[in-house]
Every structure is written in structure tokens, then in C-alpha cells.
Structure 1
Amino acid sequence: MRYLTTSEVAKILNVSERQLRRMRQTEGAGPAFVTFGVKTIRYSPAAVSRWLNEHSSD
């Protein structure tokens, strides 16, 4: 499985990378993420899709 970078997810969500980092610091405010090592943060496409579905204004 290929995980998405912060930059890629920010573009999908139409927010800045900085805003996405802030969302990550607030529990439940953004899509679920995984860490690889100390500084590498990635998002699964399924988690991003799920988050978008839960937070859409349809």
C-alpha cells in the first residue's frame, strides 16, 4: 500500500500543510495518520477518504 504525504493530503483536503499539521495535533480533527520513525508521518488513502466522507456537508 502506498501512503500519502502531508503535502498530498493537504492538497486533497484543500488546506495548507500548516493547517493539516495543526489538525494532527488536535485529536480527531483530521484524518488518521501513521508515523514511521521519529519524523515521518503518512496517511492511508482509506483513512483520508473515510475522514472526507464523515466531514462532508452533503
Structure 2
Amino acid sequence: MNEHAPIRPEPQRLAKRLAAQLPCSRRDAEHYIAGGWVRVDGTVVEEPMARVRDEQA
């Protein structure tokens, strides 16, 4: 491993990230995601368990 390489945080569950951004409960976030209301990098994601990185919008 390159000791000078930047450390990238692990991806987190989409529902958790959405709940922190809105703010809302994770359960509400799961409903928004499952309902097709959430896009990641322009693509609708309907799986609350999907993993996203900080740089994804």
C-alpha cells in the first residue's frame, strides 16, 4: 500500500446518508428511496442498502 495515498472513507448506506442530509429518519429515507424519489449521480436508486461515497451526489 502506498503510504502517501489519500485515505478514502468507506461507502455508506444510501438511507443513512440521505437521513443525515435531509434530516429525516432512516425509515423515512428508505421510503423515499424505495419510492423512486432519490437519484445518485443522475440515476434513480431504489435500494436503501445501496452504498454511496461522499463524492457522489
Whichever of the two has the greater Rg, that structure is: 2
Place the TM-score, normalised by the shorter chain, in its bin.
0.3 to 0.5
- Could you state the TM-score of these two structures normalised by the residue count of structure 2? 0.46
TM-score (norm 1): 0.46
Specify which structure has the higher proportion of helix: 1
